[in-house]
Amino acid sequence: MTAFRATNVLLNEAEIRVLGALVEKDITTPDYYPLSINALVNACNQKSNRDPVMSLNEETVRRALHSLNEKGLAGTASTADSRVPKYEHRMQEAFNFTRRETAVLCVLMLRGPQTPGELRGRTERMHRFEDLTDVQSTLQKLMTREEPLVKMLPRQPGTKEARYAHLLAGVQASWEAPAAQEAEAAPDSADSDRITRLEEEVANLHKEISDLKQELAGFRRQFE
């Protein structure tokens, strides 16, 4: 099967959610996998472990499955004992991922940009990372593939860890803009305090000058 090429094919929001949901259920609830269309719609729209929470209808999910099938990333499962069609992902065939790489990418698809600490906690049902070094090593492998699948984002103001995002949908402008806007709109507390003190000092100087002018005018009137 032809491997997915991140520079040639980009997934839309619905495709990302459908693919992420299939991967998650494959690992966390294998007894109920592959998924029927109803189960997949519910998995896409569940309120836990999703950011953003979505409300995809059956037709949208079917269209996403059709597109993912054309890209070699998902399709109908061969289940002779099932009366209804069921669907599976084909991430392993497309990317040859390790279990840890699958877990990290799945969480990034379902929950958006994450820090290594967030990834360690939120991948636990799929793969248990011993420490942050293991998470960072996995992210590095995903970032240095021939077709990079993960990108490190600029650190947000007031945070210690950088966030990471998948590249299956390309680079998103929203990843960097909010941090820059926040930095411009809200200077750190030290700068804010310094500006406040300077404003107070300027106001006091203006008052002192005004008082001196009044005293000088009064002094001159004594000799007129």
pLDDT of 4 above 50: no
Which run of H or of E encompasses 36?
strand 35-36
Tens-digit pLDDT profile for residues 196-220: 667 777 766 776 777 777 777 766 6
pLDDT of 2 above 50: no
Whether the CB-CB separation of 165 and 113 falls below 8 Å is answered with yes
pLDDT of 195 above 80: no
Task: Quote the pLDDT of residue 16.
Answer: 97
Burial 59-93, CB ≥16 within 10 A → b, else e:
ebbbbbbebbeebbbbbeeeeeeeeeebbbbbbee
pLDDT of 91 above 50: yes
One-letter-per-residue 3-state SS of 113-178: CECHHHHHHHCCCCCCCCCHHHHHHHHHHHHCCCCCCEEECCCCCCCCCCCEEECCCCCCHHHCHH
At position 166, the amino acid (one-letter code) is: H
Tens-digit pLDDT profile for residues 59-77: 999 999 999 999 999 999 9
Q: Return the CATH number of the domain spanning residue range 13-171.
A: 1.10.10.10
Tens-digit pLDDT profile for residues 136-147: 999 999 999 999
pLDDT of 135 above 90: yes
pLDDT of 163 above 70: yes
Give the Cα separation of 30 and 146 in Å (integer).
31
